[in-house]
Structure 1
Amino acid sequence: MVSLDLRRLRFLREFEERGTLGAVATALGYSPSTVSQQLALLEKDVGARLFEKAGRGLRLNDAGHLLAQHARVLLSAAEAAEADLAALGGDIRGTVRAGGLQSAARRLLVPAVARMMAEHPRVRVEVFELELEQALPGLRLGAVDLVIGDEYDGHPRPRPAGLRFTAALEEPIKVVLPAAHPLAGAGRPVPIARLRSDIWTASAEGTGHHAMVVGTCRALGGYEPDLRHRSNDADVQLELVRVGAAVALMPPLALPADDPAIAVRDLAEAALRRRLVTVTRETPPAPALTAFLRAVTDQARNS
């Protein structure tokens, strides 16, 4: 009788999507040897070879492709069964694992955790800070239940199959300058073209924020920004602005309510916006996740 381990089936499904042991290991935070071991154990479980040599690597054989197709169905069914059983009991309990970029974690996820503690004390919520690019593999595999990501005008996110993207909040992008900057006075909109000679700060390369800053300087200013400072921590970017070491483009959710050391101004050339999106799997959510999503959505509406 064949015994199927759902966790190992998740490794197989991820290999089908990514194609190499190294890519699976990087995406899921395991070593390549651990991934290889889990897939070897899956072959032992089913009593069949699932891979064949492909140059210096591996690829799925016919049996591997067949099992990967069934794995998608089995994993979705298992998740739906868990949600139905939780709903049948009527008592909202369970674990919700939620991640998001820093401003979303601080301004949306943390207040939602406080509400859940008051309204649904039997729900265990785990929050972590993570960029959407890093979190999607774990979301697909069930290690994460909810991710809040961002996307900017002109830089839409890919929409991988099997995931549901829902808009939660839209906000304008602001120019953030040191208070002593020559363009900080009078409260007027700031032309991006006038910041050609300034030093810039942004999030790490590969993130939506980094692409937005570079793309805005190119499109509206006609130049490559002198982007010397990179940090996914909004407070680090703000501190660089405070000390006069950089200028930035940031959304209001990441900004302090009042800070005399910085000047927040509109863009003169165009109105750019950031959208925060909640990302979940397309399978029916468990009651605990539904309650947490409601708390996050309400907090976004009131922000």
Structure 2
Amino acid sequence: MWDLHRLRLLHELRLRETVTAVARTLNYSPSSVSAQLAKLEDEVGVPLFEPDGRRIRLTAHGRRIARHAAQVLDLEEGVRSELESTRPIEETVRVATLETAGRALLPRALTRLRGTAPHLRVEAAVVPPETGLTELEARGFDLAVAEQYPGHTRAHRDRLDREALGTDPVRLTVPEGSGIRHLSETAGLPWIMEPEGTAARYWTVQQCRAAGFEPDIRFDSADLEIHVHLVRAGHAVSLLPDLVWTGNTDGIRLIGLPGPSHRELFTSARRAAASRPAIRTVRTALREAFADVNTPA
């Protein structure tokens, strides 16, 4: 019988690639992780690791056992979900959310849950969708709120499901006194965008190029409040989703974009855990919160 805890460590190593990253994620020492992985290799009876410079990497056998480990962990989680359906909802759901959903949807969802599931504990962290989905697959979260843009669909992951929340329009955001009427008129102006590597950054750059210019990106920030403040002060322009606005667009003018100009928001959970009553309850609260949000016309 292979030890389930050690299989979890092997699964984490496949996802995170280094013993140090596994140890940091699970709050173990690297030496402890290495020792447990060595014991698993003895239990399995075939080489699971091979040197890769100062690190180790999985052998073909190691990759195969890691895939098996993921299936075993999913099976265990599925059984737990079935058992939880017979008990009152008194557990914790860990949610990874992008910033705008954390600001506009999470408070409303928590208010609903206070009435519908008072014993449910929700823990949430604001992280980029790229991080949230990876950590969800690695069991760092139970639910993730993510986004995707027209022409930039996120890769589907076999072990994760996806449920739509809805669409969120994205508009050109300029200072209130600006005479700008069209995206093409922002050529040569300073831009603020989300950090390099994000879907929002990629999509915004593509919109500018489609309008006939290369954007002058002088600022980047994952904090969209900084975008708002710089635009309001007349130091930049930006493309921002409507969920940024919670009823206050003072000093700001919003301009529609040509073509498909919205992002799709969705929740994602591990398929093995998606039937958990607690996860279904949180998803329902988020959907209802999205339906309630008032965005600018």
Contact 1:167/1:277 (CA < 8 Å) preserved in 2?
yes
Instruction: Output the aligned Cα RMSD.
Output: 2.4
Q: C-alpha distance in 2, partners of 1:31/1:300?
A: 33
Q: Return the match for 1:205 from 187, 196, 218.
A: 196
Deviation at 1:32, TM superposition (A): 12
Equivalence for 1:275:
264
TM-score when scaled to structure 2?
A: 0.88
Equivalence for 2:123:
126
Aligned AA (2:237): V
Query: Which whole-Å deviations, capped at 9, do the CAs of 1:271-302 have from their partners, x for residues lacking one?
Result: 41111111111114311111111111111123
Q: Return the match for 2:230 from 212, 233, 240.
A: 240
Q: Return the match for 2:165 from 165, 168, 175.
A: 168
Contact 2:14/2:66 (CA < 8 Å) preserved in 1?
yes
Rate the CA distance shift 1:191–1:271 in 2: closer, same or farther, 3 A.
Answer: farther
Q: C-alpha distance in 2, partners of 1:2/1:32?
A: 22
What secondary structure sits across from 1:13 in the alignment? helix
Q: C-alpha distance in 1, partners of 2:27/2:125?
A: 24
Q: Return the match for 2:76 from 70, 75, 78.
A: 78
Q: C-alpha distance in 2, partners of 1:192/1:36?
A: 55
Aligned AA (1:207): T
What secondary structure sits across from 1:163 in the alignment? coil
Rate the CA distance shift 1:31–1:301 in 2: closer, same or farther, 3 A.
Answer: closer
Query: Which whole-Å deviations, capped at 9, do the CAs of 1:168-226 have from their partners, x for residues lacking one?
Result: 1102211111012122xxxxxx3221110211111111111111111110122x22111
Equivalence for 1:3:
3
Structure 1: segments with no counterpart, 5+ residues:
184-189
What secondary structure sits across from 2:134 in the alignment? helix
Q: Return the match for 2:63 from 45, 62, 65.
A: 65
Deviation at 1:2, TM superposition (A): 4.4
Contact 1:12/1:39 (CA < 8 Å) preserved in 2?
no
Deviation at 1:3, TM superposition (A): 3.0
Query: Which whole-Å deviations, capped at 9, do the CAs of 1:51-75 have from their partners, x for residues lacking one?
Result: 1224554232354234213211210
Q: C-alpha distance in 2, partners of 1:177/1:40?
A: 57
Structure 2: segments with no counterpart, 5+ residues:
none
Kindly, what percent of the aligned residue pairs are identical?
30
What secondary structure sits across from 1:59 in the alignment? strand
Equivalence for 2:179:
182
Aligned AA (1:4): L
Contact 1:86/1:93 (CA < 8 Å) preserved in 2?
no
Q: C-alpha distance in 1, partners of 2:40/2:85?
A: 32
Equivalence for 1:99:
96
Deviation at 1:144, TM superposition (A): 0.2
Equivalence for 1:187:
none
What is the number of residues matched between the two proteins? 289
1:216 lines up with 2:213 in the alignment: no
Equivalence for 1:287:
277
1:146 lines up with 2:139 in the alignment: no
Equivalence for 1:258:
248
Equivalence for 1:186:
none
Rate the CA distance shift 1:28–1:249 in 2: closer, same or farther, 3 A.
Answer: farther
Query: Which whole-Å deviations, capped at 9, do the CAs of 1:214-269 have from their partners, x for residues lacking one?
Result: 1110122x2211111111111111000110010111111112423331111212x3
Rate the CA distance shift 1:55–1:234 in 2: closer, same or farther, 3 A.
Answer: closer
